[in-house]
Structure 1
Amino acid sequence: MRFVIALMRHETNTFSPIPTPLSAFSRGSSTGAPLYGDDAARACQGTNSAAAAFMDLVRAQGDEFVMPLMANAVPSGVVTREAFESMSATIIEAVRAGCDAVMLDLHGAMVAEGLADAEGELLARIRAAAPGIPIAVSLDFHANFSAALVDNATVIAGYRTYPHVDVYETGARAARTLMAALRGEARPVMLWRTLPMLTHMLRQTPREQPMKDIMDRAIAAERDGEVLNVSVFGGFPLADIPHTGLTVLVVADGNQADRTSAGARLLDELCAAAWARRADFVFPLEPMEVSIARARAAQAGPVILVDHGDNCGAGGPTDEMTVLGEVLRQGLEDVVAGPYWDPAAVAILVAAGVGNTVTVDVGGKTDTPALGLKGKPLRLTGRVRCVTDGSYQVTGPMFTGMQLSLGRTAVLDVGGTLVVVCEQPQEPFDTGVFTHAGIDLSRRKYVLIKSRQHFRAGFEPIAKEIVLVAGPGVCSSDYSQFPFRNLRRPIYPLDEHTSMHAA
């Protein structure tokens, strides 16, 4: 058999001021553009990605595949229509050339200009080009769902972890069910429901309650054969679209009436459990100054300070400097901070040269009109400690093996505090953002990063303590700051008297 395998991933923060053109889909590529054909397959091979699982399973069966596209972008603002049209056309052209099935490594929260559900549109176009073609889809835990997304897929499976360390396994789960369908051993039927809940991303992780035993129940149901697949999606709450919310999706076997009924009961059970805990999915905010003062009292490091209001992993520019400014004001010592996105500052530091002292305005180059935030640079004086090309390979458990780049990167030593400044934004889910520049994190008292949960993959093992810091930014957990206009209403917690069955 012949398969089309493609990777197209983007998590769209519709409030983010950072545009997302085609060139942004170069994560994992050194070309400044998406990868195509054999280059795409080589870049994915051996990585913790769903696409790698698809390829491995096809090869193990002795079948063949083509991989027309690997397009992966750091979360940011709305994707340009031109970018979406280019990527979708590349995939559809490969499908039209002939195949027995399609396997897609998608995110599930991509919003393009004029398209609230870009992945749903892609699947509808594939169906139009090849009616009846079986389609398996792997989705991020933060996917948002529309009817188009579900109706045009054969099977969907989602990550069960946050940080996302089971991406390969998610691809394998989706592919195994697709192969069973192709062999006539199963007839996948998808049952799903999106609850009117805006969960907080700091309360979503299946590692802890309130999500833990909900996800554990889903895992057990699939493992024990109650259903073919079951996934619980926390959803991406910073998308102002009608599809945002927590979703449960069950894949039952339509060949067995009792299994379909069991799938429907499981769907009801999981949705009821999530709704009953809706208040527990709200994250209580602590003032930034209080969090930093609490960290200052720590006896031993590394203490990981997590600025979660400006995280490029959720669409932030990572150039908001308020938290670093407060860390310096409160006198925390022995700090490494970053990486901060500021190509202009990098150019100044590179020109100054290693070993030289320079004064530079770092960050604050980006305004966020949707939230009424103005960029405020932080003026720093220090010695340029080193300059790198920013390239490193992920060695931690999240997206293991992927080659990433921060672009040119400079480290500025500001009185013992090391500030890492880069040309390309990257969430620090892997310690390589620092270690590639020769920084030994084990010898540092404080590590200040911009993240939410993904940092735990690489940084939790070295942390003596973790302090969450609610800095300002487009990734804030204070939903009252966001001018939502397109959500389905009512929705909890914006509308407290929301019913589970709200339209």
Structure 2
Amino acid sequence: MRFVIALMRHETNTFSPIPTPLHAFNRGSTDGPLHGEDAVRACRGTNSAAAAFMDLVEGQGDTFVMPLMANAVPSGVVTAEAFESMAATIVDAVREGCDAVMLDLHGAMVAEGYADAEGELLARIRAVAPDVPIAVSLDFHANFSAALIDNATVIAGYCTYPHVDVYETGARAARTLMAALRGEARPVMLWRTLPMLTHMLRQTPREQPMKDIMDRAMAAERDGEVLNASVFGGFPLADIPHTGLTVVIVADADRADAGRRLLDDLCGMAWERRADFVFPIEPMESSIARARAAEAGPVILVDHGDNCGAGGPTDEMTVLAEVLRQELEGVVAGPFWDPAAVAHLIEAGVGSTVTLDVGGKTDMPALGLKGRPLTLTGRVQCITDGHYQVTGPMFTGMKLSLGRTVVLDVGGTLVVVCEKPQEPFDTGVFTHAGIDLSRRKYVLIKSRQHFRAGFEPIAKDIVLVAGPGVCSSDYSLFPFRNLRRPIYPLEADTTLQAA
């Protein structure tokens, strides 16, 4: 058999002021997507669904083509040019003929003209290959329209956050697809989106309220009650009509009733716990003062308001300014996105003492925020090319790049400034520059949950800091216009009938 395998991932924060063009779709050292053998080499041996697809296909003696690997850091709406180019590349490969398609997608991509870009992609594939089976691996933060469900054969989602089971998710989707191709299963999909915006700091299946819900889904799939069971926390920073918590069940046609019962159980559990999915916000100054009292480090300070893993520009400097004001010692902070500052520091050279404005280059008009640079004086300690390979459990083996990166020593505080935004889910963002995190009392990063994959093992304590930005957990700040309403907790009296 011949398979088409493709990877196209982007999580779109519709409140981000930074559009996402085609050249942004590679987190490594090159610009733009990879194709063919370059795409295969970049994915092979990594913790990705695409790698699982390749391994399974080759393991059974079949062949595949990989027309696209396109993976962008979360940011604003994907440009029409970028989406059309990527979609056409995949559709053209399917048009040439195949027995099945396996897609490593995100599920929360919004492109110009398409609130559900992945659903549009699948509809286009269906237009040229109406009967081809399609397996899709999706991120835990996927949002769903009917187009995404109606045009897929099998869907499986990550069961973890941080996402450390990406390869296994691809394998779960692929196994069901292969069973269908062999005539051993007849998959039918059952799904429901609940009228609730969960807070991303309360979504993780590692803890309640999500843990029991995800455990029930995983047990049902493991025990053969259904073919696949996935609970999606959803991506709440997308102002589109189908944002919300979604449950997707893939059942065998002969056991569809069991799938419906499981769907009802999982949705009922989530809805009953809706108040527990709301994150209480502590004032930023109080969080940092609490961290200041810590006796031992490393203490991980997590600025979750400006996290590029959820679409923030990572150049908001308010939290660092407060850390410096409260005189925390032994700090490493970053990486902060500021290509202009990087160029200035590189021109000055290692060992130079420089005074310059860092960050604050990005206005965020959706929330009425103006960029405010932070003036720093320090010595250029280190300059790197920003390349590193992930060694932690999330996307293990992937080669990533911060672009050119500079470490600025500001009175003992190390500030890492880079050309390309990257969420620090792996310690490589610091260690590639020779920074020994065990010798730092405080590590200030911009993240939300993914940092736990790489940083939790070294942390003596973790303090969440509610800095300003387009990733804020205060939903009252966002001018939502396109959500289905009513929706909890924006309307506290929302009923389940709103679904």
Please indicate the TM-score interval, normalised by the length of the shorter structure: over 0.9
The answer on whether the counterparts of 1:195 and 1:501 sit within 8 Å (CA) in structure 2 is no
Asked if 1:11 is matched to 2:11, the reply is yes
The residue number in structure 1 matching 2:415 is 419
Asked if 1:406 is matched to 2:405, the reply is no
Q: Distance in 1 between matches of 2:356 and 2:435?
A: 21
Q: Match for 1:457 among 453, 456, 480?
A: 453
Aligned residue for 1:243, secondary structure, equals coil
Question: What CA deviation, in whole Å up to 9, does each residue of 1:458-492 have, x standing for no partner?
Answer: 00000000000000000000000100000000000
The residue number in structure 2 matching 1:261 is 257
Asked if 1:428 is matched to 2:420, the reply is no
1:123 is matched by which residue type in structure 2? Answer: L
The residue number in structure 1 matching 2:158 is 159
Q: Distance in 1 between matches of 2:30 and 2:12?
A: 22
Aligned residue for 1:486, secondary structure, equals coil
Percent identical among aligned pairs is: 87
Q: TM-score, normalised by structure 1?
A: 0.99
Give how far 1:26 is off.
1.3
Q: Distance in 2 between matches of 1:406 and 1:282?
A: 33
Give how far 1:33 is off.
1.1
Give how far 1:501 is off.
2.1
Give how far 1:500 is off.
1.3
Aligned residue for 1:501, secondary structure, equals helix
Q: Distance in 2 between matches of 1:404 and 1:113?
A: 27
The residue number in structure 2 matching 1:107 is 106
Q: Distance in 2 between matches of 1:329 and 1:197?
A: 38
The residue number in structure 2 matching 1:181 is 180
The residue number in structure 1 matching 2:68 is 69
The answer on whether the counterparts of 1:136 and 1:156 sit within 8 Å (CA) in structure 2 is yes
Asked if 1:145 is matched to 2:144, the reply is yes
The residue number in structure 1 matching 2:471 is 475
1:310 is matched by which residue type in structure 2? Answer: D
The residue number in structure 2 matching 1:93 is 92
The residue number in structure 2 matching 1:26 is 26
Q: Report runs of 4+ in structure 1 exceeding 2 Å deviation.
A: none
The answer on whether the counterparts of 1:107 and 1:140 sit within 8 Å (CA) in structure 2 is yes
**CA RMSD in angstroms, aligned pairs only:** 0.5
2:202 is matched by which residue type in structure 1? Answer: R
- Structure 2: where are the runs of 5+ without partners? none
Asked if 1:50 is matched to 2:49, the reply is yes
Q: Distance in 2 between matches of 1:158 and 1:492?
A: 23
The residue number in structure 2 matching 1:382 is 378
Give how far 1:85 is off.
0.3
Q: Distance in 2 between matches of 1:26 and 1:269?
A: 39
Question: What CA deviation, in whole Å up to 9, does each residue of 1:255-285 have, x standing for no partner?
Answer: x1xx211110000000000000000000000
Q: Distance in 2 between matches of 1:138 and 1:499?
A: 31
Q: Distance in 1 between matches of 2:283 and 2:27?
A: 34
The answer on whether the counterparts of 1:75 and 1:312 sit within 8 Å (CA) in structure 2 is yes
Q: Distance in 1 between matches of 2:424 and 2:30?
A: 22
Q: TM-score, normalised by structure 2?
A: 1.00
The number of residues matched between the two structures is 499
Give how far 1:31 is off.
2.4
Asked if 1:353 is matched to 2:352, the reply is no
- Structure 1: where are the runs of 5+ without partners? none
2:55 is matched by which residue type in structure 1? Answer: D
Q: Distance in 2 between matches of 1:247 and 1:178?
A: 21
